[in-house]
A and B are shown apart, each in its own frame.
Chain A
Amino acid sequence: MNNKIKYLVVTAVLLLLVVPSSHGTPVNIEGIQNLGMGGPGTAFDSHYGPMYNPAILGIREETKITILDFPVTVTNDVFKFYSFYSDNQDDLKNFSDLDSDRQQELTEEITDKVSKYNMRAKFGILNPGVMIGPFPILGPTGSLAWGVGFKNQTDIGAKMNPGILVPTINFWARADGVLFAPVVYSTPYLPWKLPGKIHAGITLKSIMRYRYEENRMSILEFENFDFNSDDLENGLGGGWDWGALYEFDDKWNFSFVIKDFLSSKISYSGGKSEVIKPRVNFGASYKVLDSLTLAADIRDFKLEDTYKSTLFTKLYFGGRYSLLRILNVRAGFYQGYPTFGVGLGEGFNYAFYGRELGRYPGTNPEWNHSISFTTRF
């Protein structure tokens, strides 16, 4: 690489690291295998690997076809709400017949606990994909891998806030569909006798988004609320991710990804548009044993985060352990919150994880259960 190009690349990367925070909401579809082990995914292979880093395709040993994939995530508060309702449904139905102590007990439980629950569900359907490669189409000079897939996620939820004196409600629904096509080039060797291999690729993305949200709606507004389908916005856009993976040896991988490189834009039917700014992610993975992999990612890194506690909300790390190639146990820390996951073969995966909704670690956790059923070969 000549020096001018080198400087150009370095300058571009530095500029990306200081870009202001994103305006648009990025498409954030995460794999349940990754969530169970703390959320990393840019430097090792997993079902959703190409969504994290296109270059992942370069380290796959075979073609993978996903026929069906049904992931579902619900917050722990949904279970708490269900538990509250099933424990008290008779009393709630016959509230006026209860004695005043019981009425007060129920009312206080609703105002102090139930009204603060964060009710959220995410789900995807079908999610088919064909990921081919790597294919030594370029002979001794390298190999290519490519693929095409479709992932989608619908995120719906409601949260009540204490407000000033009168509680308010936020509720939202967002459905994202991404048709994506990664292409990856892998070098068989590096110049200057450097060890390892480099895989570099791009993912072209076509994004469809439906969204609807109401923030800080007062109880009075909620009482008179009437859903108007005209308020449901639908948009179409596109963009691309760029990713590289340095396979140092058969144990260490290092990754560098720019998501929504040069920004992705979604245009809505009403004339509005949403610009998703680039984000810089990088990570590493270490294969301790054939059955044990440790990995860590930093997502959406910015120079301004250096030496600040906000950096810790961008850390995702953990490990996965495979027992007899059938039972997979995973654990890690997602933005500092512990995670746990388990998988049975290719078909079933479960993850429990915490997510930070606030600015700093420990400010406002959201606890989630995720489960997926997949047909893949």
Chain B
Amino acid sequence: MKFFKKTKILIPVFAAAVFLSGCENSNIFSWTHAQGGDSSVVSLLSDGQKAENDGDYEEAIEYYDKILKKDPDNSEALYGKASAELKNAGLELSELVSNMINEDTQGTQDLISDLNFEKLEAGAKEAKDALETITSGEGDGTIPADDPDVNLNLAITRAIWSASYLINEYNVKVKDDFTLENLPEEGIDSDDEEKVIGELDKAIDNLKTSGMDTTEIENGFDDFKTEIDGATK
């Protein structure tokens, strides 16, 4: 007890030290949980979301895949996987939007030229499959099939997949206004046309489900379809 009486003065100092250590945003128990150390679904979901927030997209995909192996209908994992796949493919929408708002065509062009379209096509395909499981009603129902957020993202993912597919298959270029050029004079394969146009039609359906007025987008897609159609073998 004498010790405490003698060290009375240290107590406010201790309190201040604790306060200052708090400014580091650190948790003294964060060491108690190793990422991936617990194989339960709730734990893997938490680890996946943390890895994604930290920008470790490959690690996040691993966690989501582990969940889906055990529980293929887990909607939260399907949603997380779609998100991590697209980010892992290098799609940073915030920078893209920032450039578009600023009409920074050079910045947009730089971003597009930095994209690895093979990786983007593969990532968009994985994301599309994951989100389709939810919107087709095959998920576990924690996210409803008509969820506006999921449908909106699926529509955009379909468009991204379609564009990257054409780019990879036919070396098509994307202009800074996001239209395509260099469509091959010899035309594109009719199977490919069916795939791409099929995706765009489904994207319109998803947009409608998300509550969006699709009139203008449908007109744009119609022009694109005509362009593709003209190039079809």
Judge whether B141 is part of the interface by a CB distance below 8 angstroms: no
- Indicate which residue in A162, A166, A361 contacts B30 across the interface (CB closer than 8 Å): A361
What is the bound-complex CA distance between A121 and B135, given in angstroms?
A: 35
Q: How many residues of B contact A (CB 8 A)?
A: 56
Cβ–Cβ contact B93 & A165, under 8 A: yes
Judge whether A205 is part of the interface by a CB distance below 8 angstroms: no
Cβ–Cβ contact B15 & A321, under 8 A: yes
What is the bound-complex CA distance between A333 and B18, given in angstroms?
A: 9
Judge whether B127 is part of the interface by a CB distance below 8 angstroms: yes
1/0 per residue, CB under 8 A from A, across B1-12: the answer is 100110010011
**Chain B interface: which of A24-32, A193-201, A336-344?**
A336-344
- Indicate which residue in B15, B16, B156 contacts A165 across the interface (CB closer than 8 Å): B156
The prevalent SS among residues of B at the interface is helix
**A241-278 contacts to B (CB < 8 Å):** none
CB distance from A112 to the nearest CB of B (A): 7
Cβ–Cβ contact A165 & B86, under 8 A: yes
Closest to A111 in B: B94
- Indicate which residue in A104, A220, A313, A338 contacts B22 across the interface (CB closer than 8 Å): A338
Cβ–Cβ contact B101 & A356, under 8 A: no
> Interface centre among A315, A331, A358, A360, by most B CB within 10 Å?
A360
Judge whether B153 is part of the interface by a CB distance below 8 angstroms: yes
**What residues on A are CB-neighbors of B12 within 8 Å?**
321, 323, 329
What is the bound-complex CA distance between A214 and B149, given in angstroms?
A: 12
> Interface centre among A107, A111, A165, by most B CB within 10 Å?
A165
Cβ–Cβ contact A309 & B4, under 8 A: no
Q: How many residues of A contact B (CB 8 A)?
A: 53
Judge whether B215 is part of the interface by a CB distance below 8 angstroms: no
Closest to A21 in B: B42
CB distance from B78 to the nearest CB of A (A): 11
Judge whether B97 is part of the interface by a CB distance below 8 angstroms: yes
**What residues on B are CB-neighbors of A107 within 8 Å?**
97-98, 101-102
What is the bound-complex CA distance between A359 and B188, given in angstroms?
A: 50
**What residues on A are CB-neighbors of B27 within 8 Å?**
335-337, 354, 356, 361-362, 365
The 7 closest A-B pairs by CB, nearest first: A362-B30, A338-B22, A340-B19, A362-B27, A361-B29, A309-B32, A312-B29
Residues of A within 8 A of B (CB): 100, 103-104, 107-108, 111-112, 162-166, 168, 216-218, 220-221, 224, 288-289, 292, 308-309, 312-313, 315, 319, 321, 323, 329-333, 335-340, 352, 354, 356, 358-365, 367
